[in-house]
Structure 1
């Protein structure tokens, strides 16, 4: 059984108002993936890393973050988590931006979405906070490919 945890990074949302986190959880569960925890933290490097490391210690197969992946000064998810992801899956971010470009045009250039593996070889996805962006990532990239990526990592 595959397990996942969802971390939303936002200065304005809580668990009730977190539509993207709710979407991610319901979509994963609809595909037979158990979501064992879902949390919201503010756009703060220490808060993001702290919750991420708490998730990591619980040994989920997937950790999916949403929010804080843009280029605004408060968008610190990528600088917070990149040091904790020794292996980046470069093709995820590249392909996500291409799909986003097809949907929203040049605004996709501001996305720093990425995927990688942490020290415990758990697959991590860092997605924008937009529910539409999360839907694109889930339907086009994550659900079709995560099992293969995990398989390849554990060879």
Structure 2
């Protein structure tokens, strides 16, 4: 049985920024960043910014702080750097700035991921929350993880969550 959330108000569009955190990807090889953008556009949302930054905490936090100043932006979607390797710093950099967290996002992402990849899902540090009245989502960098998080969690709830933030 698949539970469906209550319907959202029609016609809400969300303005988004997509940030890929990677030491090696380029716009041509960034399949996950491209996928996030395609899925957002297919759901009638706007992508007003896209960038690739190095997996450096100062760059990640600087990107959040800069995007946090954009009054027309609703959501920032990060991908990459959520594991436990020494260069995976996305979670740590983002988590320190969040004013509110959405613990259910990471919990549900790992639950859904476990159903696909088994116990390796414990290494995912997907996180979501609020910074400067913007929703922040951070997903792993693999395209399969991005598709899972976008289709099962983010896209079904993004308009509802933004609507809550706009109240």
Does TM-score exceed 0.5, indicating one fold?
yes
Is residue 114 of structure 1 aligned with residue 151 of structure 2? no
| Kept in 2: contact 1:20–1:131 (CA 8 A) | yes
Q: Secondary structure at the match of 1:48?
A: helix
TM-score, structure 1 length as denominator?
A: 0.95
3-state SS in 2 of match to 1:69: coil
How far apart are the structure 1 equivalents of 2:93 and 2:26? 20
Equivalent of residue 11 in structure 1, options 17, 23, 29: 23
Q: Could you state the TM-score of these two structures normalised by the residue count of structure 2?
A: 0.88
Matched, 1:69 2:82: yes
- Correspondence for 1:105 among 93, 97, 118: 118
Taking the aligned partners of 1:154 and 1:27, their CA distance within structure 2 comes to 23
- Where structure 1 has 5 or more consecutive residues not aligned to the other structure, the ranges are none
Q: Is 1:30 aligned with 2:66?
A: no
**2:109 equivalent among 96, 108, 114:** 96
Distance in 1 (CA, whole Å) between partners of 2:141 and 2:94 is 16
**Larger gyration radius, structure 1 or structure 2:** 2
- Partner SS for 1:64: strand
Contact in 2 for aligned 1:100/1:108 (Cα 8 Å)? yes
Match of 1:131 among 104, 118, 143: 143
Gaps of 5+ in 2: 1-12
Q: Which runs of 4+ in 1 moved over 4 A?
A: none
Aligned residues: 154
Indicate if the aligned counterparts of 2:15 and 2:45 stay in contact, CA closer than 8 A.
Answer: yes
Query: CA RMSD for the aligned pairs?
Result: 1.1
1:19-51: per-residue Cα shift (whole Å, max 9, x none)?
000000011011111100100011100111112
